[in-house]
Amino acid sequence: MRQAELPQVDGRFVGSFLTVSLIMLSLLTVPAREVFAQAKKPDPKKGAAGKAVTKPAPGGTAKPKPAVMPTKPVDPNLDPVTGLPKGYKVPPDRPDVMIDFEPLVTPEELADLKKFENRYKSAIRGSTGNLKDEDKNIIRKGIKYRLAQLCEKDNLQNLHVKREDLSIRDLQQAGKLAPAADVRNFRRFILAEIVKQSEALLKKNLYVRIQAVTLVGELDLTETDTQRNLKLEAFADGLPLLAKVLADPEQPPAVKIAAARSIVRLLRYGVPSVPVKHEVANAIVAELKDGKKFFWYQLRLAEALSLLDVTLDLQNRKPFIVDTLRMVMNDPARDWQVRAMAARSLGRVPFDPSVNVPTVVGEVALFARDLAKAAQQQPKNPIWKTNFWFLYLAFNALDASDMDAAKRAKGGFRNNAQTTPAFEPVYQLVLPITNSLLSGQQVTVEQVKALDDWLQKNKVAAPGIAEK
């Protein structure tokens, strides 16, 4: 650019600009600490706002000093870092049994087991009736494959289908080609292997555990086959595993309820040995001692006792089943439905000669009276129909298939020659109440009074006790 084209600049502006530039340059070259050191320090005799601070007058109240908290004594038995007792090891977090899926086998093992599926389906049909060692190994792998599928997270929505692949679709073919005389032994091996391998599933998540105990309850030693003259018989050898589930405090109530239901089926349609009956009875009696357990669980346990025809426990020689059912029925803290089911079961179990029948009659009558009064106080509650229906079934069988525990006669006090005469008067008082409730009517004052009169006439004393 030529000199003539430069704009004309006022000399005063240039001089001012140079002055300001020199001042800024000098500030930038001074260390920060020197700048702040020149700041005026506050006067200790004045406050932050510059005002003079006045001291309290002699005799005045000075500001109290904060209290010193006492030091907590050190416990030599505690770890100073964790605060826990020395030597105590914190247990690992328990896995959430509700949702955690833990495979039974690795993906590679599952793929390998699947290769035997067709051979497994052929082996369980039993074309010869005899199982060779090779066939047994193939069947073991096929069962493991079925159970492993229950432990796969991808099958969560179809666990019941996977269970029925084994309990229904496979077992319907088990022993199908075997001679009739060999069917029981042939199927016994397969079912025993299912029970044995199912125990590992009881450590998996909640869903898998329920499927496992349900599966055991679905096993049948023989299925109904009119052509080969075979009758239905449940596989009672699965009962010990289910009794073990009841006795396990680590099993959730939902699993125990499913196990109790399976026990009912295996007892009803199976033929358990006497030692197995005692094992199951002991487990149920022990569980029923706790009246605070979930009522539905107690209900299924009380129902299961109705199917056990053992009279005395092996250790104390006491009528432990009858005594337990009486205890449940007479317990006012338990659910009415559980107590009514206990009364129903009493009508199906055998009475040892040591049992005082008139005492039991008085207890049943007293329970009926209390149940009727409760129904009077809450007439709109539909549960009374169920409760009195159970009480009615304490005297009568539901149908021809409703047998006593020994499976020799129909269930109910009125079908037992040992108890019919003593229980008949009470039944005649319970019957009209049951009819009223089932027909939608309320319990009347006269019906309750009839029970009260009977109790007074027979000198029934404290709850659950009758005079001899």
Instruction: Using the CB atoms, write b or e for 207-221: b if 16+ within 10 Å.
Output: bbbbbbbbbbbbbbb
Residue 412 backbone zone (phi > 0: left; psi -120 to 50: alpha; other: beta): left
Of 231, 247, 268, which marks where a domain is finished?
A: 268
Is residue 52 domain-resident?
Answer: no
DSSP-assigned states of every residue in 406-425:
TSSSBSSGGG-TTTHHHHHH
Task: Look up residue 409 and give its two tokens.
Answer: 């006669």
Q: Give the per-residue pLDDT at 461.
A: 75
| Nearest CA-CA partner of 210 in 171, 165, 156, 280 | 156
Which tens digit of pLDDT belongs to each residue from 358-407? Answer: 999 999 999 999 999 999 999 999 999 999 999 999 999 999 999 999 99
Of 213, 244, 268, which marks where a domain is finished?
A: 268
Q: Give the per-residue pLDDT at 10.
A: 46
- Regarding whether 199 and 292 lie in a shared domain, the answer is no
Q: Give the per-residue pLDDT at 64.
A: 63
End-to-end CA distance of the chain: 136
Is residue 287 domain-resident?
Answer: yes
Q: Give the per-residue pLDDT at 26.
A: 46
Low-confidence ranges of the chain (pLDDT < 70): 1-73, 92-98, 127-129, 462-468
Is residue 76 domain-resident?
Answer: no
- Regarding whether 280 and 264 lie in a shared domain, the answer is no
Which tens digit of pLDDT belongs to each residue from 267-319? Answer: 999 999 999 999 999 999 999 999 999 999 999 999 999 999 999 999 989 99
- Regarding whether 427 and 361 lie in a shared domain, the answer is yes
Is residue 1 domain-resident?
Answer: no
- Regarding whether 358 and 451 lie in a shared domain, the answer is yes
Residue 440 backbone zone (phi > 0: left; psi -120 to 50: alpha; other: beta): left
Contact 301, 284 (CB under 8 A): yes
Q: Give the per-residue pLDDT at 80.
A: 81
Handedness of CA 254, 255, 260, 261 (dihedral sign): positive
* Full residue range of the structural domain in which residue 244 is found: 94-268
Q: Give the per-residue pLDDT at 9.
A: 42
- Regarding whether 238 and 99 lie in a shared domain, the answer is yes
- Regarding whether 379 and 295 lie in a shared domain, the answer is yes
How many CA atoms are closer than 13 Å to the CA of 313, on its beta-carbon side?
17
Of 268, 294, 320, which marks where a domain is finished?
A: 268
- Regarding whether 191 and 322 lie in a shared domain, the answer is no
Is residue 144 domain-resident?
Answer: yes
pTM: 0.77
CA 313 – CA 278 distance, rounded (Å): 7
- Regarding whether 303 and 385 lie in a shared domain, the answer is yes
- Regarding whether 288 and 203 lie in a shared domain, the answer is no
Is residue 462 domain-resident?
Answer: yes
- Regarding whether 259 and 289 lie in a shared domain, the answer is no
- Regarding whether 188 and 291 lie in a shared domain, the answer is no
Q: Give the per-residue pLDDT at 313.
A: 92
Q: List alpha helices for 356-395, DSSP H.
A: 357-377, 383-393
Is residue 351 domain-resident?
Answer: yes
| Total domains present in the chain | 2
- Regarding whether 435 and 366 lie in a shared domain, the answer is yes
Is residue 186 domain-resident?
Answer: yes
